[in-house]
């Protein structure tokens, strides 16, 4: 039986490439088979079938039968998914443990030194980048907020304020307790985000949303290139620059003028 395109797409969504999907479905149809048999059924190059089956076994989708020639046994799909989930959780936990260990090891000190020396060679105009996707934008904002020393200025939309509350409120609250000033210009109403931010930041109401613009001290500026009401979060795009010139000549005057007018 040949799997439908919907099923093959579902397998793709959990990390199986085209050859893996073909081999896995072929093995389900046979129950037990050799790499050669599966390569013929699935129309996959024989030279690739061994690596593919090894990958499927490592992920938890098949079991290797120690015979001559080596044969592969299909697992019930539900069992395969359970094994795969367990394997992914184990690898995730192992990776987190390695990262936590690295954070406090001499390795990170060496990498930080390399980074700082490299930064001395970079021209200011080189420290720019485009961020695509709301997740990437929020990740970068989180990193920038942590670098704040004096002041964070934010212009945002109603949905942008909700996003800011969902992803950054706790860190901004900690930042404000350190004496770092927070100024937020956004559409205001009787909402939870507005009430919460009013406790930690100076806020002003803007009737018509201007954009989503963030400045951190006089070093970083990040502004949206897309309308958060008109694009899916995966297509949201923002531009970031580490540039005192950009902050002083563009972002800060724009913020101050907008603030004064409200």
pLDDT in tens, 152-164: 999 999 999 999 9
Specify whether 52 is located in the same domain as 151: no
Specify whether 134 is located in the same domain as 252: yes
Q: Is residue 223 part of a domain?
A: yes
Specify whether 130 is located in the same domain as 72: no
Q: Provide the token pair at 143.
A: 């990193």
Query: Can you tell me the distance from the alpha carbon of 258 to that of 140, in angstroms, rounded to the nearest whole number?
Result: 25
Specify whether 48 is located in the same domain as 132: no
Q: Is residue 114 part of a domain?
A: no
Total of domains in the chain:
2
Specify whether 133 is located in the same domain as 257: yes
- pLDDT tens per residue across span 212-253: 999 999 899 999 999 998 999 999 999 999 888 889 998 999
Specify whether 136 is located in the same domain as 256: yes
pLDDT tops 90 at residue 134: yes
Structural domain boundaries, residue 153: 126-261
Q: Provide the token pair at 205.
A: 């109401």
Split at pLDDT 50, 70, 90, the class of 83 is confident
CATH classification of the domain holding 61: 1.10.10.10
Query: Can you tell me the distance from the alpha carbon of 179 to that of 61, in angstroms, rounded to the nearest whole number?
Result: 53
Specify whether 159 is located in the same domain as 71: no
Q: Is residue 234 part of a domain?
A: yes
Q: Is residue 113 part of a domain?
A: no
Specify whether 171 is located in the same domain as 75: no
pLDDT tops 90 at residue 45: yes
CATH classification of the domain holding 255: 3.30.870.10
Q: Is residue 102 part of a domain?
A: no
233 secondary structure, DSSP code: G
Specify whether 29 is located in the same domain as 142: no
Specify whether 74 is located in the same domain as 132: no
Q: Is residue 120 part of a domain?
A: no
- pLDDT tens per residue across span 90-132: 999 999 999 999 999 999 988 888 877 776 665 655 578 999 9
pLDDT tops 80 at residue 149: yes
Specify whether 74 is located in the same domain as 134: no
251 secondary structure, DSSP code: I
Average pLDDT over the chain, rounded to whole?
A: 90
Contact criterion met (CB below 8 Å) for 134 and 227: no
Among 96, 21, 10, smallest CA distance to 55 is for 21
């Amino acid at each position: 039986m040949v799997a439908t395109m919907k099923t093959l797409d579902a397998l793709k969504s959990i990390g199986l490439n085209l050859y893996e999907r073909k081999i896995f479905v072929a093995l389900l149809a046979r129950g037990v088979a050799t790499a050669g048999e599966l390569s013929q059924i699935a129309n996959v190059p024989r030279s690739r079938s061994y690596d593919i089956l090894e990958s499927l076994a490592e992920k938890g989708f098949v079991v290797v039968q120690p015979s001559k020639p080596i044969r592969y046994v299909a697992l019930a799909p539900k069992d395969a998914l359970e094994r795969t989930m367990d394997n992914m959780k184990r690898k995730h936990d192992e990776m987190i443990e390695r990262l936590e260990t690295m954070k406090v090891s001499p390795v990170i000190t060496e990498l930080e030194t390399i980074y700082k020396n490299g930064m001395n060679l970079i021209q200011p105009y080189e420290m720019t980048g485009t961020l695509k996707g709301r997740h990437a934008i929020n990740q970068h904002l989180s990193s920038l907020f942590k670098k704040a020393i004096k002041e964070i200025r934010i212009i945002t939309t109603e949905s942008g304020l909700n996003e800011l509350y969902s992803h950054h409120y706790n860190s901004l609250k900690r930042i404000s307790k350190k004496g770092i000033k927070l100024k937020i210009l956004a559409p205001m109403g009787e909402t939870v985000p507005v009430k919460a931010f009013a406790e930690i930041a100076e806020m002003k109401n803007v009737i018509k949303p201007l954009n989503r613009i963030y400045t951190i001290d006089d070093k970083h500026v990040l502004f949206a290139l897309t309308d958060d009401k008109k694009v899916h979060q995966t297509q949201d795009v923002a531009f970031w620059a580490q540039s005192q010139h950009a902050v002083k000549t563009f972002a800060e005057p724009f913020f101050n003028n907008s603030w004064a007018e409200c």
